[in-house]
Amino acid sequence: MNRASHQHRLGGAVAVLIALLAVAAALTAGHLVAALTEPLASPYLAVGNTAIDLAPQPVKELAIELFGTADKLALLVGMGIVIAALAAVGGLVSRRTPLPGMTMITGFGLLGMAATVSRSSLDPLALTAPVTAALVGVGAFAWLHRTASVKPQGDEPTSAQSGRDAEREDAEREETTTEGAAGGRRRFLISGVAVALASGAAGTVGQLLSGARRVSRSRQAIGALEPDVAAPPVPVGADFAESGTPTFITRNENFYRIDTALRVPRVPASEWGLRVHGMVDRELNLTFDDLMNRRQLQKPITMVCVSNPVGGSYISTAEFIGVPVRDILAESGVRDGAEQVLSTSVDDFTAGTPIDALTDPNRDALLAVGMNGGPLPTEHGFPVRMVTPGLYGYVSATKWVTDLEITTWDARTYWEKRGWAERAPVKTQSRIDRPKGFEKTPAGRITVAGIAWAPHTGIERVEVRVDQGAWRAAELSAAVNTDTWRMWRIELDLPPGGHNVESRATDRSGYTQTAKRVPTVPDGATGRHSIFFTAE
Protein backbone atom coordinates (compact mmCIF):
# COMPACT_ATOMS: atom_id res chain seq x y z
CA MET A 1 0.00 0.00 0.00
CA ASN A 2 1.51 3.36 -0.97
CA ARG A 3 2.04 6.32 1.37
CA ALA A 4 -0.73 8.43 -0.15
CA SER A 5 -3.30 5.89 0.99
CA HIS A 6 -2.30 6.56 4.60
CA GLN A 7 -3.09 10.28 4.37
CA HIS A 8 -6.41 12.06 4.59
CA ARG A 9 -7.88 15.52 4.37
CA LEU A 10 -7.16 17.54 7.52
CA GLY A 11 -9.89 19.24 9.47
CA GLY A 12 -10.06 23.01 9.10
CA ALA A 13 -9.17 23.76 12.73
CA VAL A 14 -6.17 21.43 12.64
CA ALA A 15 -4.95 22.92 9.37
CA VAL A 16 -5.17 26.47 10.71
CA LEU A 17 -3.42 25.46 13.95
CA ILE A 18 -0.56 23.91 11.98
CA ALA A 19 -0.07 27.10 9.97
CA LEU A 20 -0.17 29.33 13.04
CA LEU A 21 2.34 27.16 14.91
CA ALA A 22 4.68 27.04 11.90
CA VAL A 23 4.57 30.81 11.42
CA ALA A 24 5.20 31.35 15.14
CA ALA A 25 8.18 28.99 14.94
CA ALA A 26 9.53 30.91 11.96
CA LEU A 27 9.21 34.34 13.57
CA THR A 28 10.67 33.34 16.93
CA ALA A 29 13.57 31.45 15.33
CA GLY A 30 14.33 34.51 13.22
CA HIS A 31 14.12 36.72 16.31
CA LEU A 32 16.57 34.48 18.18
CA VAL A 33 19.11 34.44 15.35
CA ALA A 34 18.72 38.20 14.92
CA ALA A 35 19.51 38.70 18.60
CA LEU A 36 22.78 36.84 18.03
CA THR A 37 23.67 38.71 14.84
CA GLU A 38 21.74 41.96 14.26
CA PRO A 39 18.58 42.70 16.33
CA LEU A 40 17.06 44.95 13.65
CA ALA A 41 17.09 41.97 11.25
CA SER A 42 14.37 40.19 13.22
CA PRO A 43 11.90 39.44 10.36
CA TYR A 44 8.87 40.85 12.15
CA LEU A 45 10.69 44.09 12.95
CA ALA A 46 12.47 44.36 9.60
CA VAL A 47 9.19 44.09 7.69
CA GLY A 48 7.51 46.53 10.08
CA ASN A 49 10.28 49.10 9.75
CA THR A 50 10.16 48.78 5.97
CA ALA A 51 6.40 49.29 6.07
CA ILE A 52 6.96 52.49 8.05
CA ASP A 53 9.54 53.70 5.54
CA LEU A 54 7.33 52.96 2.53
CA ALA A 55 4.03 54.21 3.97
CA PRO A 56 2.69 57.32 2.18
CA GLN A 57 2.86 60.51 4.22
CA PRO A 58 -0.95 60.77 4.66
CA VAL A 59 -0.96 57.28 6.16
CA LYS A 60 1.79 58.24 8.63
CA GLU A 61 -0.12 61.36 9.66
CA LEU A 62 -3.35 59.39 10.07
CA ALA A 63 -1.56 56.83 12.27
CA ILE A 64 -0.15 59.56 14.51
CA GLU A 65 -3.54 61.29 14.67
CA LEU A 66 -5.39 58.09 15.56
CA PHE A 67 -2.89 56.39 17.85
CA GLY A 68 -0.46 59.11 18.94
CA THR A 69 2.61 57.65 20.63
CA ALA A 70 1.03 54.17 20.39
CA ASP A 71 1.27 54.18 16.58
CA LYS A 72 4.14 51.65 16.59
CA LEU A 73 2.21 49.31 18.86
CA ALA A 74 -0.80 49.64 16.58
CA LEU A 75 1.38 48.69 13.61
CA LEU A 76 2.77 45.63 15.41
CA VAL A 77 -0.70 44.48 16.41
CA GLY A 78 -2.02 45.11 12.91
CA MET A 79 0.84 43.15 11.38
CA GLY A 80 0.15 40.29 13.78
CA ILE A 81 -3.49 40.19 12.76
CA VAL A 82 -2.63 40.22 9.04
CA ILE A 83 0.01 37.51 9.43
CA ALA A 84 -2.37 35.34 11.46
CA ALA A 85 -5.11 35.80 8.85
CA LEU A 86 -2.77 34.89 5.98
CA ALA A 87 -1.50 31.90 7.94
CA ALA A 88 -5.07 30.72 8.50
CA VAL A 89 -5.79 30.95 4.78
CA GLY A 90 -2.54 29.13 4.01
CA GLY A 91 -3.51 26.38 6.42
CA LEU A 92 -6.99 25.95 4.97
CA VAL A 93 -5.71 25.55 1.41
CA SER A 94 -3.18 22.98 2.66
CA ARG A 95 -5.66 20.46 4.04
CA ARG A 96 -4.68 17.81 1.48
CA THR A 97 -1.07 18.72 0.78
CA PRO A 98 1.44 20.87 2.69
CA LEU A 99 2.77 22.53 -0.47
CA PRO A 100 0.59 25.71 -0.37
CA GLY A 101 1.45 26.40 3.26
CA MET A 102 5.14 25.77 2.71
CA THR A 103 5.03 28.14 -0.25
CA MET A 104 3.31 30.78 1.90
CA ILE A 105 5.99 30.59 4.58
CA THR A 106 8.71 30.73 1.95
CA GLY A 107 7.08 33.91 0.68
CA PHE A 108 7.14 35.35 4.21
CA GLY A 109 10.84 34.49 4.35
CA LEU A 110 11.59 36.22 1.05
CA LEU A 111 9.72 39.30 2.26
CA GLY A 112 11.85 39.30 5.41
CA MET A 113 15.03 38.99 3.34
CA ALA A 114 14.00 41.89 1.11
CA ALA A 115 13.19 44.04 4.15
CA THR A 116 16.56 43.20 5.71
CA VAL A 117 18.47 44.02 2.53
CA SER A 118 16.67 47.37 2.32
CA ARG A 119 18.22 48.44 5.63
CA SER A 120 21.49 49.80 4.30
CA SER A 121 23.25 49.85 7.66
CA LEU A 122 22.84 46.13 8.32
CA ASP A 123 25.71 43.68 7.90
CA PRO A 124 25.21 40.89 5.30
CA LEU A 125 25.30 38.46 8.24
CA ALA A 126 21.90 39.87 9.18
CA LEU A 127 20.35 37.80 6.36
CA THR A 128 20.84 34.69 8.46
CA ALA A 129 17.80 35.72 10.53
CA PRO A 130 15.15 35.72 7.76
CA VAL A 131 16.77 32.68 6.08
CA THR A 132 16.62 30.73 9.34
CA ALA A 133 13.04 31.86 9.86
CA ALA A 134 12.01 30.53 6.45
CA LEU A 135 13.77 27.18 6.91
CA VAL A 136 12.37 26.62 10.39
CA GLY A 137 8.87 27.64 9.33
CA VAL A 138 8.81 25.38 6.28
CA GLY A 139 10.24 22.48 8.28
CA ALA A 140 7.74 22.90 11.12
CA PHE A 141 4.82 23.13 8.71
CA ALA A 142 5.87 19.99 6.83
CA TRP A 143 6.46 18.01 10.03
CA LEU A 144 3.19 18.99 11.71
CA HIS A 145 1.21 18.41 8.52
CA ARG A 146 2.72 14.94 8.12
CA THR A 147 2.05 14.07 11.75
CA ALA A 148 -1.57 15.20 11.56
CA SER A 149 -2.36 13.58 8.19
CA VAL A 150 -1.18 10.01 8.81
CA LYS A 151 -4.24 7.72 8.60
CA PRO A 152 -4.50 4.69 10.90
CA GLN A 153 -4.04 1.38 9.03
CA GLY A 154 -5.90 -1.90 9.20
CA ASP A 155 -5.75 -5.11 7.13
CA GLU A 156 -8.38 -5.48 4.42
CA PRO A 157 -10.50 -8.62 4.61
CA THR A 158 -10.04 -11.29 1.89
CA SER A 159 -12.85 -13.02 0.05
CA ALA A 160 -11.69 -16.39 1.38
CA GLN A 161 -12.48 -15.46 4.96
CA SER A 162 -15.59 -16.92 6.54
CA GLY A 163 -18.36 -14.64 7.72
CA ARG A 164 -17.45 -15.23 11.37
CA ASP A 165 -13.79 -14.57 10.64
CA ALA A 166 -14.73 -11.44 8.75
CA GLU A 167 -16.82 -10.19 11.67
CA ARG A 168 -13.95 -10.86 14.07
CA GLU A 169 -11.52 -9.09 11.74
CA ASP A 170 -13.89 -6.15 11.43
CA ALA A 171 -14.07 -5.80 15.20
CA GLU A 172 -10.33 -6.04 15.55
CA ARG A 173 -9.84 -3.58 12.72
CA GLU A 174 -12.26 -1.09 14.35
CA GLU A 175 -10.43 -1.44 17.67
CA THR A 176 -7.07 -1.00 15.93
CA THR A 177 -8.37 2.00 14.00
CA THR A 178 -9.69 3.64 17.18
CA GLU A 179 -6.40 3.03 18.97
CA GLY A 180 -4.50 4.30 15.92
CA ALA A 181 -6.60 7.45 15.73
CA ALA A 182 -6.05 8.14 19.40
CA GLY A 183 -2.35 7.54 18.94
CA GLY A 184 -2.29 9.84 15.94
CA ARG A 185 -3.98 12.60 17.91
CA ARG A 186 -1.50 12.10 20.73
CA ARG A 187 1.41 12.33 18.30
CA PHE A 188 0.07 15.53 16.76
CA LEU A 189 -0.69 17.00 20.17
CA ILE A 190 2.84 16.23 21.37
CA SER A 191 4.32 17.64 18.17
CA GLY A 192 2.24 20.79 18.38
CA VAL A 193 3.09 21.38 22.03
CA ALA A 194 6.77 20.80 21.25
CA VAL A 195 6.70 23.42 18.49
CA ALA A 196 4.81 25.87 20.71
CA LEU A 197 7.25 25.41 23.61
CA ALA A 198 10.26 25.70 21.33
CA SER A 199 8.83 28.88 19.81
CA GLY A 200 8.18 30.38 23.22
CA ALA A 201 11.70 29.53 24.36
CA ALA A 202 13.26 30.95 21.21
CA GLY A 203 11.27 34.17 21.48
CA THR A 204 12.09 34.59 25.17
CA VAL A 205 15.80 33.92 24.73
CA GLY A 206 15.90 36.18 21.68
CA GLN A 207 14.29 38.97 23.67
CA LEU A 208 16.76 38.53 26.53
CA LEU A 209 19.72 38.47 24.16
CA SER A 210 18.52 41.45 22.12
CA GLY A 211 20.13 43.90 24.47
CA ALA A 212 17.48 45.02 26.98
CA ARG A 213 19.34 43.67 30.00
CA ARG A 214 22.73 44.74 28.73
CA VAL A 215 21.48 48.27 28.17
CA SER A 216 19.85 48.33 31.59
CA ARG A 217 23.14 47.31 33.20
CA SER A 218 24.98 49.85 31.05
CA ARG A 219 22.68 52.67 32.23
CA GLN A 220 23.02 51.58 35.85
CA ALA A 221 26.81 51.58 35.58
CA ILE A 222 26.78 55.23 34.49
CA GLY A 223 24.67 56.31 37.44
CA ALA A 224 23.92 59.93 38.29
CA LEU A 225 25.55 62.56 36.10
CA GLU A 226 27.36 65.65 37.32
CA PRO A 227 27.87 68.25 34.56
CA ASP A 228 30.87 70.56 34.46
CA VAL A 229 28.51 73.49 33.95
CA ALA A 230 25.29 73.03 35.92
CA ALA A 231 22.08 74.80 35.00
CA PRO A 232 20.81 77.43 37.48
CA PRO A 233 18.07 76.08 39.76
CA VAL A 234 14.59 76.31 38.29
CA PRO A 235 13.07 79.37 39.99
CA VAL A 236 10.02 79.28 42.18
CA GLY A 237 6.99 80.17 40.10
CA ALA A 238 8.30 78.62 36.87
CA ASP A 239 4.98 76.80 36.47
CA PHE A 240 1.38 77.12 37.53
CA ALA A 241 0.80 73.41 38.08
CA GLU A 242 -1.63 74.20 40.89
CA SER A 243 -3.72 76.09 38.33
CA GLY A 244 -3.72 73.27 35.77
CA THR A 245 -0.52 73.70 33.74
CA PRO A 246 2.12 70.97 33.39
CA THR A 247 5.06 71.05 35.77
CA PHE A 248 8.01 73.00 34.37
CA ILE A 249 10.19 69.88 34.07
CA THR A 250 8.53 66.88 32.43
CA ARG A 251 9.17 63.53 34.08
CA ASN A 252 11.00 61.10 31.81
CA GLU A 253 8.09 58.69 31.67
CA ASN A 254 5.75 61.53 30.61
CA PHE A 255 8.06 63.06 27.99
CA TYR A 256 6.46 62.77 24.57
CA ARG A 257 7.94 60.29 22.14
CA ILE A 258 7.53 60.25 18.35
CA ASP A 259 10.07 58.38 16.23
CA THR A 260 10.35 55.94 13.35
CA ALA A 261 11.75 53.07 15.45
CA LEU A 262 9.43 50.06 15.53
CA ARG A 263 11.78 48.48 18.05
CA VAL A 264 13.71 50.77 20.36
CA PRO A 265 17.43 50.35 19.47
CA ARG A 266 19.40 48.95 22.40
CA VAL A 267 23.06 49.89 22.31
CA PRO A 268 25.21 49.53 25.45
CA ALA A 269 27.44 52.53 26.05
CA SER A 270 30.53 50.35 25.64
CA GLU A 271 29.49 49.49 22.07
CA TRP A 272 28.50 53.00 21.00
CA GLY A 273 30.64 55.06 18.65
CA LEU A 274 30.29 58.32 16.75
CA ARG A 275 31.92 59.09 13.41
CA VAL A 276 32.32 62.76 12.43
CA HIS A 277 33.26 63.13 8.77
CA GLY A 278 32.47 64.80 5.46
CA MET A 279 33.48 68.41 4.86
CA VAL A 280 35.92 68.52 7.77
CA ASP A 281 39.67 68.93 8.20
CA ARG A 282 39.93 66.05 10.66
CA GLU A 283 37.68 63.00 10.83
CA LEU A 284 36.79 62.01 14.39
CA ASN A 285 35.81 58.63 15.81
CA LEU A 286 34.56 58.99 19.37
CA THR A 287 33.63 56.41 21.99
CA PHE A 288 31.20 57.00 24.84
CA ASP A 289 34.14 57.41 27.23
CA ASP A 290 35.61 60.05 24.91
CA LEU A 291 32.35 61.98 25.15
CA MET A 292 32.11 61.61 28.92
CA ASN A 293 35.64 62.97 29.33
CA ARG A 294 34.76 66.23 27.56
CA ARG A 295 33.24 69.39 29.00
CA GLN A 296 29.57 68.75 29.76
CA LEU A 297 26.89 71.26 30.43
CA GLN A 298 23.34 71.03 31.72
CA LYS A 299 20.45 72.98 30.27
CA PRO A 300 16.63 72.94 30.42
CA ILE A 301 15.31 72.65 26.86
CA THR A 302 11.78 72.47 25.53
CA MET A 303 11.33 70.08 22.62
CA VAL A 304 8.40 70.14 20.20
CA CYS A 305 7.42 67.62 17.55
CA VAL A 306 6.55 68.97 14.11
CA SER A 307 3.53 66.65 14.16
CA ASN A 308 2.09 68.58 17.08
CA PRO A 309 -1.30 70.00 16.04
CA VAL A 310 -2.67 73.25 17.43
CA GLY A 311 -3.30 72.58 21.11
CA GLY A 312 -1.44 69.26 20.88
CA SER A 313 0.51 67.36 23.54
CA TYR A 314 3.76 66.65 21.69
CA ILE A 315 5.78 69.14 23.70
CA SER A 316 7.89 68.55 26.82
CA THR A 317 10.76 70.04 28.77
CA ALA A 318 13.74 68.32 30.39
CA GLU A 319 17.13 69.18 31.79
CA PHE A 320 19.58 67.68 29.32
CA ILE A 321 23.27 67.05 30.00
CA GLY A 322 25.74 66.72 27.17
CA VAL A 323 28.65 67.95 25.13
CA PRO A 324 28.03 71.05 22.99
CA VAL A 325 27.96 70.03 19.33
CA ARG A 326 29.89 73.19 18.47
CA ASP A 327 32.87 71.82 20.47
CA ILE A 328 32.93 68.67 18.35
CA LEU A 329 32.57 70.60 15.11
CA ALA A 330 35.34 73.02 16.12
CA GLU A 331 37.68 70.12 16.80
CA SER A 332 36.93 68.47 13.46
CA GLY A 333 37.30 71.74 11.55
CA VAL A 334 34.27 72.51 9.37
CA ARG A 335 35.25 73.49 5.83
CA ASP A 336 33.87 76.43 3.88
CA GLY A 337 30.71 75.64 1.96
CA ALA A 338 29.29 73.21 4.55
CA GLU A 339 25.60 73.86 5.18
CA GLN A 340 24.19 71.10 7.34
CA VAL A 341 25.10 68.23 9.64
CA LEU A 342 23.47 65.04 8.47
CA SER A 343 22.98 62.95 11.60
CA THR A 344 22.22 59.23 11.37
CA SER A 345 20.73 56.92 13.96
CA VAL A 346 21.65 53.28 14.44
CA ASP A 347 18.29 52.42 12.83
CA ASP A 348 19.05 54.48 9.67
CA PHE A 349 16.93 57.53 10.54
CA THR A 350 18.54 60.74 9.27
CA ALA A 351 18.08 64.43 10.08
CA GLY A 352 19.71 67.54 8.65
CA THR A 353 20.55 70.39 11.06
CA PRO A 354 21.81 73.79 9.85
CA ILE A 355 25.48 74.33 10.65
CA ASP A 356 24.77 77.82 11.95
CA ALA A 357 22.30 76.47 14.54
CA LEU A 358 24.83 73.93 15.82
CA THR A 359 27.69 76.41 16.05
CA ASP A 360 25.63 79.22 17.60
CA PRO A 361 27.31 79.91 21.00
CA ASN A 362 23.98 81.08 22.45
CA ARG A 363 21.96 78.02 21.42
CA ASP A 364 23.77 75.16 23.19
CA ALA A 365 22.90 72.31 20.84
CA LEU A 366 24.00 69.15 22.63
CA LEU A 367 25.15 65.62 22.09
CA ALA A 368 23.10 64.66 25.12
CA VAL A 369 24.01 61.76 27.41
CA GLY A 370 21.71 62.64 30.29
CA MET A 371 18.13 63.63 30.95
CA ASN A 372 16.77 64.95 34.24
CA GLY A 373 19.82 63.95 36.24
CA GLY A 374 20.41 60.42 34.95
CA PRO A 375 21.45 58.70 31.72
CA LEU A 376 19.06 59.01 28.81
CA PRO A 377 16.18 56.51 28.93
CA THR A 378 16.52 53.87 26.23
CA GLU A 379 13.42 55.09 24.39
CA HIS A 380 14.77 58.63 24.39
CA GLY A 381 18.05 57.80 22.71
CA PHE A 382 20.45 56.08 25.12
CA PRO A 383 23.38 56.26 25.03
CA VAL A 384 23.57 59.51 22.99
CA ARG A 385 21.11 61.74 21.16
CA MET A 386 21.10 65.22 19.66
CA VAL A 387 19.08 68.07 21.16
CA THR A 388 18.95 71.42 19.38
CA PRO A 389 16.88 74.24 20.93
CA GLY A 390 14.51 76.12 18.66
CA LEU A 391 14.17 73.51 15.89
CA TYR A 392 11.56 70.81 15.44
CA GLY A 393 12.89 67.38 16.33
CA TYR A 394 12.80 65.92 12.83
CA VAL A 395 15.66 68.22 11.76
CA SER A 396 17.59 68.43 15.01
CA ALA A 397 17.10 65.70 17.59
CA THR A 398 18.33 62.36 16.24
CA LYS A 399 18.13 59.66 18.88
CA TRP A 400 20.67 56.83 19.15
CA VAL A 401 22.92 58.99 16.96
CA THR A 402 26.01 57.29 15.60
CA ASP A 403 27.15 59.35 12.60
CA LEU A 404 27.57 63.07 11.83
CA GLU A 405 28.34 63.96 8.24
CA ILE A 406 29.12 67.60 7.52
CA THR A 407 27.69 68.26 4.07
CA THR A 408 25.47 70.54 1.95
CA TRP A 409 21.72 70.79 1.53
CA ASP A 410 21.99 68.44 -1.45
CA ALA A 411 21.92 65.51 0.98
CA ARG A 412 18.28 64.62 1.59
CA THR A 413 17.06 63.30 4.92
CA TYR A 414 14.42 60.77 6.00
CA TRP A 415 11.58 63.27 6.33
CA GLU A 416 12.66 65.58 3.51
CA LYS A 417 12.24 62.68 1.11
CA ARG A 418 8.67 62.46 2.37
CA GLY A 419 7.73 66.08 1.71
CA TRP A 420 8.74 67.87 4.89
CA ALA A 421 10.63 71.16 4.86
CA GLU A 422 14.41 71.49 4.81
CA ARG A 423 14.49 74.00 7.66
CA ALA A 424 12.03 73.89 10.54
CA PRO A 425 12.27 76.50 13.31
CA VAL A 426 9.65 75.94 16.01
CA LYS A 427 6.68 78.26 15.56
CA THR A 428 5.35 80.52 18.31
CA GLN A 429 2.31 78.85 19.85
CA SER A 430 0.15 78.65 22.96
CA ARG A 431 -2.18 76.04 24.42
CA ILE A 432 -5.06 76.08 26.90
CA ASP A 433 -4.77 73.35 29.54
CA ARG A 434 -7.55 74.44 31.89
CA PRO A 435 -10.50 74.19 31.55
CA LYS A 436 -10.55 71.15 29.27
CA GLY A 437 -12.68 71.21 26.16
CA PHE A 438 -16.38 70.64 26.92
CA GLU A 439 -15.69 70.59 30.64
CA LYS A 440 -18.40 71.76 33.04
CA THR A 441 -17.16 74.14 35.73
CA PRO A 442 -18.88 76.30 38.38
CA ALA A 443 -19.83 79.74 37.17
CA GLY A 444 -18.22 82.84 38.65
CA ARG A 445 -14.47 83.17 39.08
CA ILE A 446 -12.78 80.72 36.72
CA THR A 447 -9.06 80.11 36.22
CA VAL A 448 -7.90 79.67 32.64
CA ALA A 449 -4.31 78.42 32.36
CA GLY A 450 -1.95 76.98 29.80
CA ILE A 451 1.49 77.08 28.21
CA ALA A 452 3.20 79.08 25.48
CA TRP A 453 6.44 78.49 23.64
CA ALA A 454 8.81 80.14 21.20
CA PRO A 455 12.07 78.22 21.71
CA HIS A 456 15.25 80.24 21.25
CA THR A 457 13.21 83.43 21.00
CA GLY A 458 11.24 83.46 24.23
CA ILE A 459 7.70 84.42 25.19
CA GLU A 460 6.93 88.08 25.86
CA ARG A 461 3.22 87.90 26.65
CA VAL A 462 0.10 85.77 26.36
CA GLU A 463 -3.40 87.11 25.84
CA VAL A 464 -6.80 85.51 26.28
CA ARG A 465 -10.25 86.42 25.09
CA VAL A 466 -13.67 85.00 25.86
CA ASP A 467 -16.52 84.72 23.36
CA GLN A 468 -14.73 86.90 20.78
CA GLY A 469 -14.41 89.77 23.24
CA ALA A 470 -11.39 91.96 23.94
CA TRP A 471 -7.96 90.42 24.43
CA ARG A 472 -6.75 90.44 28.04
CA ALA A 473 -3.15 89.92 29.21
CA ALA A 474 -2.49 86.78 31.22
CA GLU A 475 -0.04 86.38 34.10
CA LEU A 476 3.24 84.75 33.03
CA SER A 477 5.28 82.32 35.10
CA ALA A 478 8.89 83.09 36.01
CA ALA A 479 11.14 82.92 32.95
CA VAL A 480 13.89 80.26 32.96
CA ASN A 481 15.55 80.79 29.58
CA THR A 482 14.51 81.56 26.03
CA ASP A 483 14.78 77.88 25.05
CA THR A 484 11.96 76.69 27.32
CA TRP A 485 8.22 76.99 27.51
CA ARG A 486 6.41 79.47 29.74
CA MET A 487 3.22 78.99 31.72
CA TRP A 488 0.35 81.47 31.91
CA ARG A 489 -2.94 81.92 33.74
CA ILE A 490 -5.76 84.40 34.09
CA GLU A 491 -8.79 84.75 36.39
CA LEU A 492 -12.10 85.40 34.63
CA ASP A 493 -15.58 86.19 35.99
CA LEU A 494 -18.00 84.31 33.77
CA PRO A 495 -21.76 83.92 33.97
CA PRO A 496 -23.51 80.56 33.57
CA GLY A 497 -23.66 79.18 30.06
CA GLY A 498 -21.36 78.05 27.30
CA HIS A 499 -18.15 79.96 26.66
CA ASN A 500 -15.38 79.89 24.10
CA VAL A 501 -11.86 80.79 25.26
CA GLU A 502 -9.00 81.52 22.87
CA SER A 503 -5.30 82.25 23.52
CA ARG A 504 -2.49 83.86 21.58
CA ALA A 505 1.21 84.34 22.36
CA THR A 506 3.65 87.06 21.38
CA ASP A 507 7.35 86.25 21.37
CA ARG A 508 10.27 88.53 22.18
CA SER A 509 10.82 89.36 18.53
CA GLY A 510 7.39 91.05 18.52
CA TYR A 511 5.68 88.33 16.46
CA THR A 512 2.14 87.47 17.55
CA GLN A 513 0.76 84.01 16.99
CA THR A 514 -1.32 83.93 13.83
CA ALA A 515 -4.95 82.89 13.69
CA LYS A 516 -4.42 81.25 10.30
CA ARG A 517 -4.76 77.50 10.54
CA VAL A 518 -2.32 75.38 8.56
CA PRO A 519 -1.62 71.65 8.97
CA THR A 520 1.59 70.17 10.33
CA VAL A 521 3.06 69.43 6.88
CA PRO A 522 5.52 70.68 5.73
CA ASP A 523 6.99 72.65 8.64
CA GLY A 524 4.58 72.72 11.57
CA ALA A 525 1.02 73.76 12.32
CA THR A 526 -0.19 77.29 13.02
CA GLY A 527 -3.41 78.70 14.42
CA ARG A 528 -4.85 79.70 17.76
CA HIS A 529 -6.01 77.18 20.28
CA SER A 530 -9.54 77.58 21.56
CA ILE A 531 -11.80 75.48 23.75
CA PHE A 532 -15.50 75.46 24.54
CA PHE A 533 -16.69 74.78 28.08
CA THR A 534 -19.81 75.31 30.16
CA ALA A 535 -20.11 77.35 33.35
CA GLU A 536 -22.92 76.18 35.62
| Lowest-pLDDT range of 20-34, 183-197, 418-432 | 183-197
One domain for residues 366 and 439: no
- 324-361 pLDDT, tens digit per residue, is 999 999 999 999 999 999 999 998 899 999 999 999 99
Q: Are 269 and 190 within one domain?
A: no
Evaluate whether 255 touches 380 at the Cβ level (below 8 Å): yes
pLDDT, tens digit (0-9, with 9 covering 90-100), for 201-224: 988 888 777 667 778 889 999 988
Residue 319 has pLDDT above 70, yes or no: yes
Amino acid at 112: G
Q: From CA 76, how far away is CA 53, in angstroms rounded?
A: 14
| 348 located within any domain | yes
Q: Is the domain of 438 the same as that of 342? A: no
Q: Which residues partner with 430 through β-bridges?
A: 452
CA 293 to CA 369: how far, in whole Å?
A: 12
Q: Specify the CATH number for the domain of residue 382.
A: 3.90.420.10
Q: Is the pLDDT of residue 312 over 60?
A: yes
Do 389 and 295 lie in one domain? The reply is yes
**What pLDDT is stored for residue 4 in this prediction?**
43
**Strands of 486-494's sheet in order across:** 429-434, 444-453, 486-494, 475-476
Strand partners, 533: 499
- Asked if residue 518 lies in contact with residue 526, where contact means CB atoms within 8 angstroms, the answer is yes
Let me know whether 249 and 297 are in one domain: yes
Is the domain of 130 the same as that of 19?
Answer: yes
Cβ within 8 Å of residue 14, ≥6 positions away: 148, 188
Residue 55 forms part of a structural domain: yes
**Diameter of the chain measured on Cα atoms:** 111
pLDDT at 65 over 80: no
- pLDDT above 60 (res 469): yes
Query: What is the Cα 402 distance to its own chain's centre?
Result: 18
Does residue 109 sit within a domain? Answer: yes
Kindly indicate the confidence band of residue 175, based on its pLDDT and cuts at 50, 70 and 90: low
Whether 518 and 407 share a structural domain: no
Burial 138-175 (b: 16+ CB within 10 A, else e): bbbbbbbbebbbbebeeeeeeeeeeeeeeeebeeebee
What's the rounded Cα separation, in Å, for the pair 195 and 187? 12
**Mean pLDDT score across all residues of the chain:** 89
Q: Is residue 174 included in any domain, yes or no?
A: no
In a domain, 383, yes or no: yes
Q: Give domain status of residue 297, yes or no.
A: yes
Residue 138 pLDDT more than 60?
A: yes
CB atoms closer than 10 angstroms to residue 401 = 22
Coil/strand/helix, residue 247: coil
Nearest to 32 by CA among 284, 205, 234: 205
- One domain for residues 526 and 486: yes
Relative to beta strand 472-473, strand 475-476 is: unpaired
Together in a domain, 275 and 357: yes
- pLDDT tens for 49-63 read 777 777 776 776 677
CB 88 within 8 A of CB 16: yes
Residues 292 and 312 in one domain: yes
CB environment 225-263: b (16+ within 10 A), e (fewer): bebeeebeebeeebbbeebbbbebbbebeebbbbbbbbb
Q: What is the pLDDT of residues 478-487, one digit of tens each?
A: 999 999 999 9
Share of the chain above pLDDT 70, in %: 89
Asked whether 299 and 386 are in contact (CB, 8 A), the reply is no
In a domain, 360, yes or no: yes
- Residue 151 pLDDT > 70, yes or no? no
Please tell me the predicted confidence (pLDDT) of residue 5. Answer: 42
Specify the pLDDT at position 192: 87
CB 318 within 8 A of CB 366: no
Does 270 share its domain with 413? yes
Cα 495 to chain centroid, rounded: 46
Total tally of structural domains belonging to the chain: 3
The answer to whether residues 261 and 376 belong to one domain is: yes
3-state secondary structure of 318: strand
| pTM of the predicted structure, to 2 decimals | 0.76
Residue 219 lies in a domain: no
Q: Which domain holds residue 490?
A: 429-535
More confident residue, 111 or 7: 111
Give 249-290 pLDDT, tens digit per residue. Answer: 999 999 999 887 777 888 999 989 999 999 999 999 999 999
Distance CA 412, CA 440 (A): 49
